[in-house]
Chain A
Amino acid sequence: MSRFLKVAAAATAAILTLAACSDDSSSDITTPPATGSEADVTAALQKGGNLTVWAWDSTVKDVAAGFEKKYPNVKINLVNAGTGDKQYTALQNAIAAGSGVPDVAQIEYYAVLQFAIAKSLANISGYGASGLKSSFTPGPWNAVTPNGGVFGLPLDSGPMALFYNKEVFDRYGIAVPATWTEYVEAARKLHKANPKAYLTADTGDAGFTTSMIWQAGGKPYQVQDTTVRIDFADPGATEFATVWQPMISEKLVAPIPPWTDQWFKALGDGTIASLPTGAWMPGNLASGAAAASGKWRVAPMPQWEAGGQASAENGGSSLGVLDKSANKALAYAFVKYASVDEGKDLRIKGGAFPSTTADLQSPAFLNTPFPYFAGQKANEIFAKSARQVVPGWSYLPFQVYANSVFNDTAGKAYVSSTTLADGLKAWQEKSAKYGTEQGFTVK
């Protein structure tokens, strides 16, 4: 009984507190630099302590172990709080509740700006992060440094490449396409020769769509403090919508949802013959579509202009220090260890694709043969792609929401007579409406 009374009393108190506490987020958007210095980091490491780290990337486990070994007075509590948006939900809940917030969290690049603007992530430039610019490739570095601050360090990256099943390509006499127009042609040819086979699968994915527009030179999102411009009618977005439309209307894309068992099955048995995606894919292919080992290869991304050299990033995550962390200096030390120091080497060994320029240039890395790709040195292609990422891309400060409604809007193009261009327009409108409701100036 008394337990219940206590809990009930606590509940009442909790409601009263919640009712009383109005939100303190102000309209001031520029984040002040973190108070702190490199000396604080050294001191924190000497002092030691406990850190809670939220990450779903399996290679972070080795990093935590390595860090504890190097600094025995630090104890890392590594928690897998869900993948992607599931973890962001948990993180936002914890931040809203004001308790249970981790010290360090894995944040995908598309979500960094959102957490930075909400002041959930600490600006770690003071701890020496701003000096690391040259250590990383430009795409990931730009993603973690919006509004002149540093809100995390790049963990991995996903420069895009075309993964293809060479056996299927050879059987149907398909050459590796150099442009997207050729790609669409190849899709027609393959599907005609074998109606059960598709050149690729696409059931509408916000990450894929934005990456393709990014590669096409589109800049649909432009963000200046609280002013946001969304334009899916710009040349890059239009180019993508026009070229990709026949892939959907002629049913040339396999209607198989990604990451399901049937998707992996289709990658393994030749039903899906290629995937334009990020450089983190090899590990997933090797474990999910083991049946096709030795059949797949990697090629540079097809281009929007013949002879072009453009690429884009797809996916990839950073590690950020939470503003509510009680030990930011120590948290930063862990982030640095995981992204540029020994932790990064452990991660590469575990199959992660790095975002560090030194590794992308190191012969040992570039010469690594991939058994799944019949010994091909695929890293050469990925590293080149990382250098060719089109600069100037930005995500929305509410991209997590925008991505969540992609299939409600643009997704209609995949299941009805709506065109991709109209679908993107609907996506733009819905995103803009949300932005306005949240207090942004949307143009």
Chain B
Amino acid sequence: MGRRRSAVLTVLIALVAIYSLVPLAWLVVNATKTQEGLLSSFGLWFDDGRFALFDNVRQTLTYDDGVFVRWLGNTLLYVVAGAGGATLLATLGGYGLAKFDFPGKRAVFAVVIGAVAVPGTALAVPTFLMFSRMGLTNTPWSVIIPSLVSPFGLYLMWTFSQQAVPDEMLEAARIDGAGEFHTFFRVSAPLLGPGIVTVLLFTVVATWNNYFLPLIMLKDPQWYPLTIGLNSWNDQAQTVGGQAVFNLVITGSLLTILPLLAAFLLLQRYWQSGLAAGSVKE
């Protein structure tokens, strides 16, 4: 709208940006250090003369028979199945709530928000015991199934569907005699694109960063996601004969967040418009 730009405002916001970026800078800087350099050099600057980033990356990927790569694969599995499934369920559910009137509808969201208010960490043991009886613990299912529920995604798709899909279009499709699922996939789904991308991104972040639930459900490192694996490397220093590998923990942390950052940057055009529509509606 062609307003004057303000240097003062820019500086103020730049302070917030620095606050946001300094810890990330620390991670990048320290990923270039050897285990020894990590402990003996200044934290926010590079270690003189030793630039071990590539060596660290190589070590991270090959350490302990390349288990990091396996963890990465697991994380991808959980993200594809968990976040993908969560997005699908939230999209269907949100659309159903927005575009249909059905018995029990008023109760649905009340129940969802009410349940979210109960601390998940405290429900961990009951959940574990149940899953264990079903034979699901220590399998990918124990991580994927709980990831399939995204209350925020449901809310977002609900409000987004109300706005993005005109009732008139649906009526027209119904008059033509199309089934509801047919209508959904042919008529509505294309309109829901930005909302779906947004929910997908949020559920991807949630699954990618999931820590607590896999910690309880999984015992076999072969099924660990990256977060648990990294933490187990961090713990390793305190076992008999255990090697301190803080440099690999730091490099691994960096490698863990890079794919997410890339996904954010690449898809930002879509998710920003999806969020805009979802959050403004009341």
Q: Interface of A with B (CB < 8 Å)?
A: 7, 10-11, 13-15, 17-18, 54, 56-59, 79-83, 86, 90, 93-94, 96-100, 156, 258-259, 261-262, 264-265, 268-269, 280, 283-284, 287-288, 290-291, 350-353
User: Do A288 and B237 form a contact, CB below 8 Å, given A15-B130, A261-B39?
Assistant: yes
- Does the CB pair A99–B133 fall under 8 Å? yes
| B216 engages A14 (CB within 8 Å) | no
Give B67-95 interface residues, CB cut-off 8 Å to A.
none
Interface residues of B in 107-141 (CB under 8 A from A): 125, 128-130, 132-135, 137-138
- A58 and B240 contacting across the interface, CB-CB below 8 Å: yes
| Top 8 A-B residue pairs of the complex, sorted by shortest distance between their CB atoms | A97-B132, A265-B39, A14-B133, A288-B244, A259-B238, A81-B219, A351-B241, A10-B134
A79 contacts B240, C-beta separation under 8 Å: no
Report how far A350 CA is from B125 CA in the complex, Å: 37
B38 touches A100 (CB 8 A): no
A to B CB contacts below 8 Å, 19 in the list: A58-B240, A59-B240, A59-B241, A79-B219, A83-B236, A86-B235, A93-B129, A93-B132, A94-B219, A99-B133, A100-B137, A268-B40, A280-B240, A284-B237, A284-B238, A288-B244, A291-B36, A291-B40, A351-B241
Question: What is the CA–CA distance of A7 and B136 in the complex, to the nearest angstrom?
Answer: 10
Q: Which residues between 152 and 182 of chain B lie within 8 Å of chain A, taking CB atoms?
A: none
User: Chain B nearest CB: distance from A268 CB in Å?
Assistant: 6
Instruction: Chain A residues near B135: list those with CB within 8 A.
Output: 99
Q: If the complex has contacts A79-B221, A283-B240, A350-B241, are A93 and B125 also in contact, measured as CB distance less than 8 A?
A: yes
Minimum C-beta distance from A23 to chain B (A): 12
Docked Cα-Cα span, A377 to B278, in Å, equals 70
- CB of B268 closer than 8 Å to a CB of A: no
Contacts A7-B145, A97-B128; A57 near B39 (Cβ below 8 A): no
With known contacts A79-B221, A83-B238, A280-B240, A93–B133 Cβ distance under 8 A? no
Contact A58 B242 (CB under 8 A): yes
Q: Complex formed: what's the CA distance from A166 to B181 in Å?
A: 77
A15 CA / B238 CA spacing, docked (Å)? 39
Contact between A58 and B129 (Cβ–Cβ < 8 Å)? no
CA distance A82 to B228 in the complex (A): 10
* Whole-angstrom CA separation of A99 from B130 in the bound complex: 11
Instruction: Determine whether the beta carbon of B39 is less than 8 Å from that of A93.
Output: no
Q: Are A57 and B138 in contact (CB under 8 A)?
A: no
> Are A18 and B130 in contact (CB-based, < 8 A)?
yes
Residue among A59, A261, A268 with max Cβ neighbours from chain B (10 Å): A261
The CA of A353 and the CA of B38, in the complex, are separated in Å by 29
Contact of B240 among A13, A14, A284 (CB under 8 A): A284
Q: Return the contact of A287 from the options B40, B133, B244 (Cβ within 8 A).
A: B244
Q: Are B240 and A156 in contact (CB under 8 A)?
A: yes
Known: A97-B133, A264-B39, A351-B240. 7 other contacts (CB 8 A): A7-B134, A10-B134, A93-B129, A93-B132, A264-B237, A287-B242, A351-B241
- Whether the Cβ atoms of A99 and B132 lie closer than 8 Å is yes
How many residues of B are in contact with the other chain, CB < 8 A? 32
Which of B129, B133, B235 neighbours the largest number of chain A CB atoms within 10 Å of its CB?
B133
Separation in Å of the B70 CB from the closest CB of chain A? 14
Given contacts A97-B132, A265-B39, contact A352 B219 (CB under 8 A): no
A148 to B221 CA separation, bound complex (whole angstroms): 36
Chain B residues whose CB sits within 8 angstroms of the CB of A264 once the complex forms: 39, 237, 244, 246
Q: Is the CB of B134 within 8 A of A283?
A: no
Per the bound structure, the CA–CA distance linking A326 and B133 in Å amounts to 18
Output the nearest chain A residue to B141 by Cβ-Cβ distance: A7
Q: What residues on A are CB-neighbors of B39 within 8 Å? A: 261-262, 264-265, 268-269, 291
Question: Which B residues touch A54, using CB under 8 A?
Answer: 219
Does B279 count as interface, using CB distance less than 8 angstroms? no
| Cβ-based interface call for B6 (8 A) | no
User: Is there an interface contact between B239 and A100, defined as CB atoms closer than 8 Å?
Assistant: no
CB-defined contacts of B132 to chain A, threshold 8 Å: 93-94, 97-100
Q: Which residues of chain A have C-beta atoms less than 8 A from B125's C-beta? A: 93
Please give the distance in Å from A205's CB to the nearest CB on chain B.
12
> Which residues of chain B from 226 to 255 have any CB-CB distance to chain A below 8 Å in the complex?
232, 235-244, 246
* Cα distance, A94 to B217, chains bound together (Å): 10
Q: Are A284 and B130 in contact (CB under 8 A)?
A: no
User: A58, B219: Cβ atoms under 8 Å?
Assistant: no
CB-CB contacts below 8 Å: B14-66 with A? 35-36, 38-40
- B220 interface hit (Cβ, 8 Å): yes
Q: Give the Cβ gap from B229 to chain A, nearest Cβ, in Å.
A: 11
Q: How far is the CA of A287 from the CA of B219 in the complex (A)?
A: 26
Q: How far is the CB of B141 from chain A (nearest CB, A)?
A: 9
Please determine whether B221 and A80 come into contact, CB atoms closer than 8 angstroms: yes
* Residue of B whose beta carbon sits closest to that of A14: B133
Closest Cβ–Cβ distance, residue B233 to chain A (whole Å): 11
Residues of A within 8 A of B128 (CB): 93, 97
Q: Is the CB of A97 within 8 A of B129?
A: yes
Q: A18-B130, A93-B216, A97-B133 are in contact. Are A265 and B239 (CB under 8 A)?
A: no
Of A14, A94, A291, the residue contacting B134 (CB under 8 A) is: A14
Contact yes or no, A265 B220, CB < 8 A:
no
Q: Which residue of B lies closest to A10 (CB)?
A: B134
User: Taking A79-B219, A79-B221, A284-B242 as contacts, is the C-beta distance between A259 and B134 under 8 angstroms?
Assistant: no
Residues on A with C-beta less than 8 A from B239 are: 56-58, 83
Q: Please state if A57 and B237 are interface contacts (CB–CB under 8 Å).
A: no
User: In the complex the two chains form, is B130's CB within 8 Å of A58's CB?
Assistant: no
Contacts of B133 in A (CB 8 A): 10, 13-14, 17-18, 97-99
Alpha-carbon gap, A123 to B42, bound state (A):
54
What chain B residues lie within 8 Å of A352 (beta carbons)? 240-241
Given the complex, which residues of A lie within 8 Å of B40, measured CB to CB?
A: 265, 268-269, 291
Query: Are the CB atoms of B129 and A287 closer together than 8 Å?
Result: no
Q: Which residue of A lies closest to B240 (CB)?
A: A280
Chain A's closest residue to B235 (CB) is A83
B92 to chain A, nearest CB (A): 11
Closest A residue to B129 by CB, please name it: A97
